[in-house]
Amino acid sequence: MEETKISMYQLYKDMLTSYLANKSEHALYHAQQFSKEMMEKDMSPEETVSLHLSVFQELAEDLPEEVVDSFDILLEVMIGYGLAYREHQSLRDRQQQLESELTVAARMQKSLLPHGEISLDSVDLGVISVPAGKMSGDYYDYALDEHGNIGVAVADVIGKGVPAAMSMSMIKYAMDTLPEQRTQPGALLENLNRVVERNIDSDMFITMMYGFYDPNNHYFHYASAGHEPGFVYDAVKDEFRNLEAKGLVLGVSPKVRYFPDQLHLDAGDFIVLLSDGVTECRVDGEFIEREQLVDMIRKYKHLTAQEIVDEIFQELEKAQEFQLRDDFTLLILRRKV
């Protein structure tokens, strides 16, 4: 420490001497570089002021008393700046720590979502889910049962960030305890509703759409808990219809009934499920219209389901200058044969 002080003193003295002699920009540049070194060595603003004065006193003999005294005021003021600087450093460290905790949590959260590809002759499945921040309040799931039924779900916790992410993991765990209801969309949502109602604050709620496709009779059965309507694409007519079902959002009331609906899918028809982060994308300051989204899907419909959702995400992300305001989830399930 003492050694550093002595060498800093010498460096500062050389720098000041050179500047006083020729007032060169070079010496000023040197001082700028030197300031980085001082910060690295944890030198506070008040120490710098004091260093300046002592070097100056040595270089310019017989400094007027007023000049020397005036440094008392500067020193006093700089103590405050020094404290603010140190506080800033400690807050920055804490922020880094929080960031890395969040990164770990986000990784854990990701592991709750399905990863493996489902490659089947019967259906083509694609999904993308991107959080606005590090953690997501969106949930999606897809799973294949022993009869070949493919269940798909998208849920959206109202809110963002960590609280939303914690609620999202609750949906995941609750889903895992209800395997036998995967082919009963109404009963599944009724059970989830009970879990959510019991376990989250009354000011939070969750919307969800769940459905499954039965490849034996080509019916898609589904139910919705106040969720953003999806779409059904009719390949023969080249038409999109809304996919919706009545039902209260999860978590509002303990006893809610959900009435499932069903529709027949022909080869090439597909189902689109989404979170409101998709329809709340803004292009040129305006929410995109559902028709615009339909146009985009139509534009890419010749691609595979995964390619469609990827392309749409990229297009919307770019249109919003890479700033997502809400978690974004888009899932497509297409009947192949």
CB of 50 to other proteins, least distance (A): 5
CB of 179 to other proteins, least distance (A): 45
CB of 39 to other proteins, least distance (A): 16
For residues 10 and 22, the answer to whether their CB atoms sit within 8 Å is: no
CB of 108 to other proteins, least distance (A): 27
Which residue lies nearer to other proteins by CB, 58 or 76?
Answer: 76
For residues 106 and 117, the answer to whether their CB atoms sit within 8 Å is: no
Give the CA distances from residue 163 to residues 138, 167, 186, in Å, rounded to whole numbers and listed in that order. 12, 6, 26
Which residue lies nearer to other proteins by CB, 14 or 76?
Answer: 76
Which residue lies nearer to other proteins by CB, 52 or 218?
Answer: 52
Which residue lies nearer to other proteins by CB, 54 or 320?
Answer: 54
CB of 162 to other proteins, least distance (A): 19
228: phi then psi, degrees, rounded to nearest 5: -45, 125
CB of 6 to other proteins, least distance (A): 15
What gap in Å lies between CA 139 and CA 165, rounded to an integer?
A: 9
Strand order, beta sheet including 261-264:
138-144, 150-157, 206-214, 219-225, 261-264
What gap in Å lies between CA 29 and CA 197, rounded to an integer?
A: 64
Instruction: Name the DSSP letter for residue 218.
Output: T
Q: Residue 323 in 3-state DSSP?
A: coil
What gap in Å lies between CA 244 and CA 223, rounded to an integer?
A: 8
Write out the residues near other proteins by the rule CB under 8 A: 46-47, 50, 71-72, 75-76, 79-80, 83-84, 86-87, 90-91, 94
CB of 59 to other proteins, least distance (A): 18
What gap in Å lies between CA 304 and CA 272, rounded to an integer?
A: 13
Give the CA distances from residue 115 to residues 112, 127, 140, 142, 168, in Å, rounded to whole numbers and listed in that order. 9, 10, 11, 9, 17
Which residue lies nearer to other proteins by CB, 87 or 295?
Answer: 87
Which residue lies nearer to other proteins by CB, 59 or 83?
Answer: 83
Which residue lies nearer to other proteins by CB, 84 or 337?
Answer: 84
Nearest to 171 by CA among 104, 249, 271: 249
Which residue lies nearer to other proteins by CB, 72 or 266?
Answer: 72
Nearest to 281 by CA among 290, 270, 294: 290
CB of 4 to other proteins, least distance (A): 14
